[in-house]
Amino acid sequence: MTTCKKFRMATPCSHRLVKLASLGCLAWLLWPALHVRADQPHHRNWENPLVSLPHQDSASPLAPVASQVEAKLAAPAVKPSQAGLAELVQLGASLTAVPDPGDEAPKITPAVVALESPPSQDAAALALDYRLGWGAELPVMPPHPDQTIAQVNATNGEKSDGLTSGEETDLARQSQNPVANLISLPFQNNTNLGLGQFDRTGNILNIQPVLPSPLSKDLLLINRVILPLAYQPELAPGVGNSFGLGDIFYQGFLSPTNTGNFSWGIGPAISFPTATDRVLGTGKWSIGPAAVGIWSVDRIVAGALINNVWSFAGAGDRQDVSFLTLQPFFNYNLNDGWYINTAPIVTANWQASAGNVWTVPIGGGFGRVFAIGRQPVNLSAATFWNVVRPEGAADWTLRMQITLLFPK
């Protein structure tokens, strides 16, 4: 009997201890998520969201913030959602204290932590009545309680995709310069319409890696390779279609690193007889000079690339090669990485019969530099009409290109 009474008396105490222990464990687990250390570096892309509030460090410039946030979160009327707490964890990493600007400079409006999917009380709970900067750059515009993170970033010049507007424009200008010190991997797809007497459609995917190699502090070797994957439809009776690798083409430009608004490069152009089908290549080794000149000022990047190759070895039953390629280009850069451009590829086959030497297209398109996750890319589209063309050549060319950019 005595034992049962003791057990009944001990049970409520046990329950209270269990509840207290559970609350303690929950607080221990959640506390790091609500803590913002003063020595925590700024993480622009929210890479390390686990930060803490320095409530025990009175010397910390963020110490007043800790008590303010804790007081608001402890208010009975405020119940932050799980999403709200997760956002607090992320956004805490970007808060930096701003020194007192003094009487001469205007004070920065209090910043408000925004939530992706907030009940209105979340935003109110996380409002900070202190001079806080948003990110590392000041001054900034204070976010509104109803704004999402992406909207706040856009207001303060930072894109949710990880590139600022200035970075997008700068990368666009670099990617438009054939001799820029920028590693890139373009995939250029050319769809040719109206080929042959049956008006067929052919396709060439050019994989064009660009690898700059510094030879000295003042000189670069720009290595450019074109690996064509081609589909050739049936162009005439008895001539079947074909798909495979075409002739690989290499250009190497020696280019000085500091030339102001005008940059240039010269070097060799070499064609290798790597085609997997007779109709996809020349069957000849060819070599010749190549040159490029680029003028870049303000929003404009313009210039031209030219080469001419002649065959010196290869299959004896194949026609000799004497082939000119000229590509003028003009780019006008808009805001946020957008641009309009034209880059027709003019060719001359000096071995062809009269009237079949030149291919001269006109046209243009547009593009944009942006980021997919952490990867900067340049995406563009263009259309060209061949005003002058050999017999059986395409009437139109649709060009789509995506370029992976690897800035240093």
Burial 45-71 (b: 16+ CB within 10 A, else e): eeeebebbbbbeeeebbbbebbebbee
Residues 241 and 174 in one domain: yes
Percent of the chain's residues with pLDDT above 70: 60
Residues 54 and 150 in one domain: yes
My answer on whether omega of the bond before 186 falls inside 30° of 0, hence cis, is no
Rounded CA separation 12/22 (Å): 15
Q: Please write the tens of the pLDDT for every residue from 311-356.
A: 999 999 999 999 999 999 999 999 989 999 999 999 999 999 999 9
User: Left, alpha or beta for 26 (phi > 0: left; psi -120 to 50: alpha)?
Assistant: alpha
Asked whether the predicted pLDDT for residue 14 surpasses 80, the reply is no
The better pLDDT of the pair 376, 44 is held by 376
The better pLDDT of the pair 408, 2 is held by 408
| Contacts of 361-364 spanning 24+ positions with Cβ under 8 A | 361/385, 361/386, 361/387, 361/397, 362/387, 363/397, 364/340
Rounded CA separation 110/37 (Å): 20
Could you tell me the pLDDT band of residue 164, with boundaries at 50, 70 and 90?
Answer: confident
Residues 124 and 192 in one domain: no
Residues 76 and 217 in one domain: no
Residues 227 and 352 in one domain: yes
| Contacts of 85-88 spanning 24+ positions with Cβ under 8 A | 85/30, 85/33, 85/34, 87/113, 87/114, 87/115, 87/116, 87/118, 87/122, 87/149, 88/33, 88/34, 88/113, 88/126
Residues 272 and 390 in one domain: yes
Q: Is 340 exposed, middle or buried (0-12, 13-18, 19+ CB in 10 A)?
A: middle
Reading the block at residue 170, the tokens are: 């700068």
| 3-state secondary structure at position 42 | coil
- pLDDT confidence of residue 169: 83
Residues 189 and 303 in one domain: yes
User: Left, alpha or beta for 93 (phi > 0: left; psi -120 to 50: alpha)?
Assistant: alpha
Residues 109 and 68 in one domain: yes
Residues 126 and 171 in one domain: no
CATH of the domain at 217: 2.40.160.40
Rounded CA separation 393/389 (Å): 6
- Residue ending a domain, among 158, 189, 214, is 158
Could you tell me the pLDDT band of residue 384, with boundaries at 50, 70 and 90?
Answer: very high
Lowest mean pLDDT among 118-127, 288-297, 344-353: 118-127
Residues 205 and 146 in one domain: no
Count of domains for the chain: 3
The better pLDDT of the pair 193, 74 is held by 193
Residues 230 and 90 in one domain: no
Question: DSSP of 330-385, one letter per residue?
Answer: EEEE-STTEEEEE---EEEETTSPTTSSEEEEEEEEEEEEEEETTEEEEEEEEEEE
- Residue ending a domain, among 116, 134, 158, is 158
Residues 184 and 245 in one domain: yes
**Which structural domain range is residue 141 located in?**
35-158
Rounded CA separation 53/44 (Å): 19
Lowest mean pLDDT among 96-105, 189-198, 381-390: 96-105
Say which residues have a Cβ less than 8 Å from residue 279's Cβ, sequence separation at least 6: 232, 239, 242
Tell if the pTM clears 0.85, that is, is over it: no
